[in-house]
Structure 1
Amino acid sequence: MDTNTANLLQQDPGPAALQGIKVVEMGQLIAGPFCGKTLGEFGAEVIKIEATGTGDPLRNWRLLQNGTSVWWQVQSRNKKSVALDLRQQEAQDIARRLIAEADVLVENFRPGTLEAWGMSPQELHAINPGLVMLRISGYGQSGPYRDLPGFGVIGEAMGGLRHLTAEPGRVPVRVGVSIGDTLAALHGVIGVMMALYHRKVNGGAGQVIDVALHEAVFNVMESLIPEYSAFGVVREAAGSALPGIAPSNAYPCQDGWVLVAGNGDSIFKRLMDTIGRPDLGNAPDLAGNAGRVARVQEIDAAIGAWTAERGIAQVMDALAAARVPAGKVYTAKDIAEDPHYRARQMILQQHTRDGHTLEVPGIVPKLSGTPGTVRSSAPHLGDDTDAVLQSMGLDAQQIAALRERGIVQ
């Protein structure tokens, strides 16, 4: 076992930034649960309400170990699972009782779902005025597209990202992960923290945070709209290049690809000296970015010719010595074997409730005084139903009666 990994898991977790905050998570799959995961890593108590029967569909996504997704082991660590059949009134009553004692509610259902269960913001704030309610959906809680179904991939398309993720003239492609969902979740976390701070310093009132998947994507699209507004320019796909900034691209090596960002004025000169092209480095018209953009194809060809004759390690060593930002394109294997990831505790060993040990991603961001921790592994469906119901005052006989009627699992 790696020393850094072992020490992290054995240390006293100490104080938690969100200790004392109770979160009820009613979402499923990615956007809502990723938000709950992040809050849980920093000390919030996260009670996840899942459907009886199968629970969160993420339990069965991608590669399974003993019938459970290994993705689930990351997404649902530090959470308690309560299985309720929310189609039944009694289960809805239990959910309302949990929400009445919560600081935060996270949900990513289609708009109108909670309202149909008698859990509109108005109804929930009537029983819990301080509730911070995060609602993540495809198109938001208002607007003409409100009721359309929307997943993260659709948000990526409408937000403008998919138009750019391609080689010029070729089909737009995924970035490889559910980036639309995750961006929405991170915006949700920011909203929750701002709302909790406002509640603390301004009298205790809660509020609703409305996050649309496409808006979270659109928020990181940089100069896309200002350029269209000012110049009528529609930014197009550019493959691995960074349009309007040069040189910044992926270049072939003998054993793979390297990304090189030589777009700073002094960095560019050092890069050209390193690849044996001082003529380009000293050219007056290439001293600034605008001139380099005008000759970007020539510059890219010069860099590519140099990298193509070398292996990745040789290229990386030479550029590091010249203080030129460069990076190998990492695979999962590269990440798992990289000493920097280990040194910064970004690969953790986590034990599942089925007795397995997995290496999983560490915790971001890193807080010096109240760091995030993995306090418990991902639960089986309904693992915590009895304990949570007992904390609400129900006795064993009452819980057994609910279970017999299929209200809880």
Structure 2
Amino acid sequence: MGRRPGGSGVSGALCDIRVVEMGQLLAGPFCGQLLGDMGADVIKLEPPGAGDPMRLWGQGEDKVQWEVIARNKRSVTCNLRVPEGQALARKIIATADVLVENFKPGTLEKWGLSPEELHKDNPGLIIARMSGYGQDGPYSDRAGFGGIGEAMGGWRYIVGDPDRPPARMGISIGDTLCATYGCMGVLAALHHREKTGEGQVVDTALYESVLQVMEGLVPEYDHNGYIRERAGSILPGIAPSNVYRCKDGHIMIGANKDGIFVRLAQAMDQPDLARDARYATHLARGENQIELDRIINEWTSEHTVAEVEQAMIEYSIPAGKVYRAPEMIADPHFQAREAIIEVETERFGKLKMQNAFPKFSRTPSSVRRPAPAQPGKDNAEIYGDILGLDDAARSELASKGVI
């Protein structure tokens, strides 16, 4: 729609795109973060009072996860459960290019905000809908969280050690995958709208987003009858590719390609390994994976992480330390790439967080504004400048619990 967002420091490939973000917790807000990082003006609708529950998420005494997921956003309060709030939301959405929502399917329809109704006001609107099971199908009306999508999409079953129940990652990967596919869908829909003027619905399900990254899991079963099982830290048949123990920590080494394995054997001063029929080929190494990992582990255990890493660099073998946040912050490559930046937040002062990705040569993404400290921080700006509501009108809506 060619609208430039409010605020200063406008930049990014989506700097003329306005996004309205509805919904709570992770999938919708992370999609909004991705679009905001690329320059979009993201207006987040929060319920009056406590706001989005994400404000209380995170580890440690101070909950700082909000500072990442709500950066580059403006916050307005809007009670979507009452008719006056629904009418306000419809007016804001009428000015937008994109609506991002992750409510249970049917919720927008119940509020009179169905795609059909919204497109009457705004035919070019792109509506990104994120849910557990999608907008249709026999499971669509079920409640769905990221972990359920990970289980149904195949992720949980194959994560963990084989003698233990299915495990999880330490992050909400199902939600963020859904949000990422939702963001890709929005970008494709924007391209289509540029050619045709038409808006559309982008229907992204949690379980399908997880299914999308399951590689050959389905055709392996369909054609070979093979069911992938939990295998701990290895990928069965891909060797050597594992985390190995050193004197003072661990290192990840990936030397499963034939030529790279030859160099690893040389780096270990065991060149005969690469000529041994048990390890000379990709298939052979996969069949003898456990024994090969034992041999490599014996070698790495005699050295420090720094010594093994240096040997891997000298022999051009993919390898890397197993990082935590302290190592990321201190690493010179992270620093040179500005992968981690320091943002002046409203609640916590300067706070380190991941930068905006990917990098663009002409339209760089950026963190232009910190997360709004309070729900409705931008009520006056949004409701006043965009909808033309004066102080008296806003005060009346606030007194009724609408905003």
After TM superposition, the score normalised by the length of structure 1 is 0.94
**2:221 aligns to what?**
228
Amino acid at match of 1:20: D
Q: Does 2:43 align with 1:50?
A: no
Displacement of 1:285 in angstroms is 5.4
Deviations 1:19-52 (A, max 9, x none): 1111000021111111101111111110000001
Displacement of 1:245 in angstroms is 1.3
CA–CA separation in structure 2 for the residues paired with 1:345 and 1:164: 34
Displacement of 1:15 in angstroms is 4.2
Structure 2 residue aligned with 1:185, among 175, 179, 182?
A: 179
Amino acid at match of 1:321: E
CA–CA separation in structure 2 for the residues paired with 1:352 and 1:15: 19
**2:3 aligns to what?**
none
CA–CA separation in structure 2 for the residues paired with 1:269 and 1:298: 17
CA–CA separation in structure 2 for the residues paired with 1:250 and 1:171: 21
CA–CA separation in structure 1 for the residues paired with 2:291 and 2:43: 57
Q: Does 2:364 align with 1:371?
A: yes
Displacement of 1:356 in angstroms is 1.1
Deviations 1:44-65 (A, max 9, x none): 1100000011110000112477
Structure 1 residue aligned with 2:165, among 163, 171, 184?
A: 171
Displacement of 1:299 in angstroms is 1.2
**2:5 aligns to what?**
none
Displacement of 1:170 in angstroms is 1.0
CA–CA separation in structure 2 for the residues paired with 1:36 and 1:129: 21
Between stretches 166-175 and 104-113, larger displacement belongs to 166-175
CA–CA separation in structure 1 for the residues paired with 2:188 and 2:395: 40
Deviations 1:316-357 (A, max 9, x none): 111111111111111111111111111101111111113611
Q: How does 1:4-403 map to 2 (within 5 A)?
A: 15-63=11-59, 69-201=63-195, 203-284=196-277, 286-354=279-347, 356-379=349-372, 380-391=374-385, 392-403=387-398
Displacement of 1:284 in angstroms is 4.6
Deviations 1:170-214 (A, max 9, x none): 12211110111000010011000000000001x211000010001
Deviations 1:209-242 (A, max 9, x none): 0100011011000010111011100011111111
Deviations 1:275-316 (A, max 9, x none): 122121122553321121122222111101101111111111
**1:5 aligns to what?**
none
* Aligned partner of residue 388 in structure 2, secondary structure: coil
Residues 14 and 46 of structure 1: is their aligned pair in 2 closer, same or farther, counting only changes over 3 Å? closer
Tell me, yes or no, if the aligned pair for 1:184 and 1:211 is still in contact at 8 Å: yes
Tell me, yes or no, if the aligned pair for 1:345 and 1:362 is still in contact at 8 Å: yes
User: C-alpha root-mean-square deviation of aligned residues, in Å?
Assistant: 1.4
CA–CA separation in structure 2 for the residues paired with 1:359 and 1:314: 30
* Aligned partner of residue 156 in structure 2, secondary structure: coil
* Aligned partner of residue 264 in structure 2, secondary structure: helix
Tell me, yes or no, if the aligned pair for 1:13 and 1:373 is still in contact at 8 Å: no
Deviations 1:132-189 (A, max 9, x none): 0000001111111111111111111111011111111212211110111000010011
Residues 247 and 22 of structure 1: is their aligned pair in 2 closer, same or farther, counting only changes over 3 Å? same
CA–CA separation in structure 1 for the residues paired with 2:163 and 2:277: 34
Tell me, yes or no, if the aligned pair for 2:10 and 2:368 is still in contact at 8 Å: no
Give identity over the alignment, percent: 49
Displacement of 1:254 in angstroms is 1.3
Tell me, yes or no, if the aligned pair for 2:237 and 2:285 is still in contact at 8 Å: no
Tell me, yes or no, if the aligned pair for 1:130 and 1:206 is still in contact at 8 Å: yes
Between stretches 131-140 and 68-77, larger displacement belongs to 68-77
* Aligned partner of residue 319 in structure 1, secondary structure: helix
* Aligned partner of residue 353 in structure 2, secondary structure: strand
Displacement of 1:383 in angstroms is 0.4
Long gaps (5+) in structure 2: 1-7
CA–CA separation in structure 2 for the residues paired with 1:48 and 1:345: 27
CA–CA separation in structure 1 for the residues paired with 2:165 and 2:319: 28
After TM superposition, the score normalised by the length of structure 2 is 0.95
Tell me, yes or no, if the aligned pair for 1:48 and 1:80 is still in contact at 8 Å: yes
Amino acid at match of 2:66: W
